Amino acid sequence: MKILIVDDSRAIRFFVQKSLSMVGINESEIKLAEDGAEGIKILEAGGIDILFLDINLPKLNGLGVVERMFKSGDMEKTKVVIISSIDNKEKLEFLKSHGVKHFLRKPFTPEKLTELFLKLQGETKQ
Amino acid sequence: MNTEESLQIIQKVFLDVLEQYAFLLLDPLEKEPETLPENFVQIELSFYGAQRGVFSMIISQEVNNEIEANLSGMDPSTFSNHARKFDGAKEMLNIIGPHILTDLFGNEEGIDISLPQQKSLDQETWKATMREPLKVGMSANGTPLILTMHIK
């Protein structure tokens, strides 16, 4: 299982990482990026099963990341979870129309995150 | 919505996010400092589109470190230079701002937000901030923590 966390907040990257460690995910299975451009580079290298993606990011925002993944066909290979406090209808519709199915609105608890993660992990293994 | 109703929403979101997410217990600020205390900075988050304005949080290094430690589970003694970037405070404003916008204006209006920015804080800015009508002043372990919303 390979996971990518893209968030410009170091505290949030640690928060997600720490939450995933509660369900047995090792640090070696997790890659971290602090902006959308860095996230795209890691995604293009391939092998990411689950992506936790913020929307409000430097360099390339979350909508831009999803748009590129959609065009390249990566949405078929990687399950995307949007982690953001943004609740704007237009943005959410854009994300849904580009294949995003999972949203965790900040603030969320480690339990909410791990519950969704375990569900996605189960689907990935099938 | 009048100023009083808006203030109630701002205060509720501010308290809920800081208490539930950053485990920071806040009390009402009994007396605002007349002059700018040391080691405080201003974090700003602009919004634009159907509504325009700026959120501003005035926060001390100490409270920022507490937020960051509680959020990440990291030991504050490892923060060193990183804490000067006020990452914890920026993330809090990044969460608080969109929640307030949704509660005040709904989620159908096209409102975008900037990335949170750290600004230097001088006496003039401090005094201007204290005059903002949409201002919530709280105390975290006796240290002031101020949030304002300025709608243009």
Q: Which residues contact B78 (CB under 8 A, 6 or more apart)?
A: none
Q: Smallest Cβ distance to A89: which of B71, B82, B107?
A: B107
- State percent of chain A over pLDDT 70: 98
Strand partners, A47: none
Q: Count residue pairs from A and B with Cβ separation < 8 A.
A: 64
pLDDT of the residue at B34: 80
The answer on pLDDT for B103 being more than 60 is yes
Quote the CA–CA distance of B117 and B140 in Å, as a whole number.
22
Q: In chain A, which residues have their Cβ closer than 8 Å to the Cβ of B95? A: 85, 106-107
Quote the CA–CA distance of A61 and A51 in Å, as a whole number.
14
Q: In chain A, which residues have their Cβ closer than 8 Å to the Cβ of B87? A: 9-11
Q: Chain B: residue nearest A7 by CA?
A: B91
CB contact under 8 A, B88 and A11: yes
Q: Smallest Cβ distance to B68: which of A11, A57, A107?
A: A11
Q: Smallest Cβ distance to B87: which of A10, A87, A107?
A: A10
Give me the amino acid identity at A108.
Answer: F
A17-26, A49-58, B31-40, B108-117: the lowest-pLDDT one: B31-40
Indicate the average pLDDT of chain A: 94
Q: Smallest Cβ distance to B113: which of A8, A56, A107?
A: A56
The answer on pLDDT for B81 being more than 70 is no
- For A88-124, give the DSSP string: -HHHHHHHHHTT--EEEESS--HHHHHHHHHHHHHHH
pLDDT per position as a tens digit, A8-67: 998 899 999 999 999 999 999 999 999 999 999 999 999 999 999 999 999 999 999 999
Check if the interface score ipTM surpasses 0.90.
no
Query: What mean pLDDT do residues B62-85 have?
Result: 77
pLDDT of the residue at B71: 85
pLDDT per position as a tens digit, B43-67: 999 999 999 999 999 999 889 989 9
Indicate the average pLDDT of chain B: 89
Write phi, then psi, for A27 (nearest 5 degrees): -55, -35
Residue position matching structure tokens 């975008």: B112
CB contact under 8 A, A9 and B87: yes
Check residues B83 and A30 and name the one with the higher pLDDT: A30
Quote the CA–CA distance of A122 and A117 in Å, as a whole number.
9
Quote the CA–CA distance of A39 and A6 in Å, as a whole number.
6
Q: How far is B142 from chain A (nearest CA, A)?
A: 24
A53-67, A88-102, B47-61, B82-96: the lowest-pLDDT one: B82-96
Q: What angle do CA A97, A99, A100 make, to 5 degrees?
A: 100
